[in-house]
Structure 1
Amino acid sequence: MTQRSFVSTSTSAIARSAVFGAARAASVRAWATPGVRQFSMSSALRKEGTTDVSLAQKLSEELAYEREATQSGPPQFIQEFKSQGVWNIQDNVGADEVIFERTFGSENVRLMFSIADLDSNPETEYEVEGESESGEPASDSVTSTPIRVAISITKRDVPGCLSIDAVCQDGAFLVENASFYPDAEIGTSLTAEADWKRRGLYLGPTFENLDPAVQDEFERYLDERGISESLALFIPDYAEYKEQTEYIRWLESVKKFVEA
């Protein structure tokens, strides 16, 4: 009885195994069917999506428009500014920060700003007074974008750094804060470590809380070093030029990537 039961059970197991094997083989054959395999491979290896062509086309249209609206080479106002030989402009391709640097006697004066302010700061309108064709006083509404600037002044063979935070707007530098760092490296370095060290130091009073006479002298001090009205008028124009050239480079890079 036990032996018959063992044989019967073994026979059933063998039969179930055969059925399972046949089903598994059929499944494998279905998976290996050329038509199915071709569909799977085409999905995985398809070179581009359905939106690539339309996106590349729109990028091309925008690029053509921006190129047409932009003259080749630096504008005349930049060439004239550089010909004065006062400020050295450090403008690296792909970077959003621009550095103006010059020497004044034994001093090194550096001014840095970011074109990101053109997108992050709202535009404000201000009135520019003048005369109309009839000779009567008139005013025009002009759009101005405030640009934050960081100014540092160091002296050769003298420790320390004078650091000034200001806003360039409406043809003027509006000073917000003037700090002094005993260590010039901490005051001028752009590293994360130096930034961390600056956070724990006393930065001085808010500029508007200083005595008005002290404020006036600070402004004269900066003006003498070339941080003047003419520079305040030049920086927003240069920022616009820089932003435009970087935007065109961005369009070119994205279009090339999408089309690849």
Structure 2
Amino acid sequence: MAELDPFEPDDESDDESDNERGGRPAHAAGAPDDDSDDDISDEPVECTISIAKPRKGALLFECHAWPTKLEVLKVSYIKDEKLVSEDTSEAERKLRAAGVGPEYDGLPKRIKEEFNKYLTERGIDGALAQSVSEFIKYKTQKEAQGWFDAVGSFFSGR
């Protein structure tokens, strides 16, 4: 399913007629030539990890989850730990205003090692990144299948 791109011609389409209509051939310049199903997971997934302690605030880690590793981009300290568990636009606005922190790359190596150790001790590591990547791949395939089912239903008149 991951190999299926609804905007790329399939094996039965004629590349010449696609070009005449302004389409692009399946392997245009810059397009990957391999048909692996890893294409989706080659891109990082943006995620935010929050670790809160009652009456002590929360740490907010902005990360990229790659297929095999977790890359921390920024660490913020949030005074009000309740903000990280609320799912409202108001909480999101407050988080953005309160979430001040340095870029992770700018931190001293020793501090980054301690943050990485802290996260690893809590199971926030490459295995989690792999799970996130696999879930996104599954979700993307499921959504695509739903789209194909809906379009098929539309054409069949059901």
TM-score by length of 1: 0.42
For 1:252 and 1:177, how far apart are their aligned partners in 2? Answer: 40
Structure 1 match to 2:61:
164
Structure 2 match to 1:216:
113
Equivalent residue in structure 2 for 1:153, among 38, 42, 51: 51
Q: Are residue 238 (structure 1) and residue 139 (structure 2) matched?
A: no
Q: CA-to-partner distance for each residue in 1:71-115, whole Å, 9 max, x for gaps? A: xxxxxxxxxxxxxxxxxxxxxxxxxxxxxxxxxxxxxxxxxxxxx
User: Structure 2: which 5+ residue stretches go unaligned?
Assistant: 1-5, 7-30, 33-37
Structure 1 match to 2:146:
249
Q: Which structure's CA Rg is the greater one?
A: 1
For 1:183 and 1:194, how far apart are their aligned partners in 2? Answer: 10
For 2:105 and 2:92, how far apart are their aligned partners in 1? Answer: 24
Task: Give the number of the structure with larger relative contact order, counting CA–CA contacts within 8 Å between residues 6 or more apart.
Answer: 2
Identity among equivalent positions (%) equals: 29
User: Structure 1: which 5+ residue stretches go unaligned?
Assistant: 1-61, 63-122, 125-141
Amino acid of the structure 2 residue aligned with 1:218: F
Q: CA-to-partner distance for each residue in 1:178-220, whole Å, 9 max, x for gaps? A: 1111112222322111111223225111111111100011011
For 1:217 and 1:180, how far apart are their aligned partners in 2? Answer: 15
The structure where helix makes up a greater share of residues is 1
Indicate conservation of the 8 Å contact 2:55/2:81, yes or no: no
1:235, distance to aligned residue in structure 2 (A): 2.0
Equivalent residue in structure 2 for 1:193, among 75, 90, 93: 90
How many residue pairs match? The answer is: 121
1:240, distance to aligned residue in structure 2 (A): 0.8
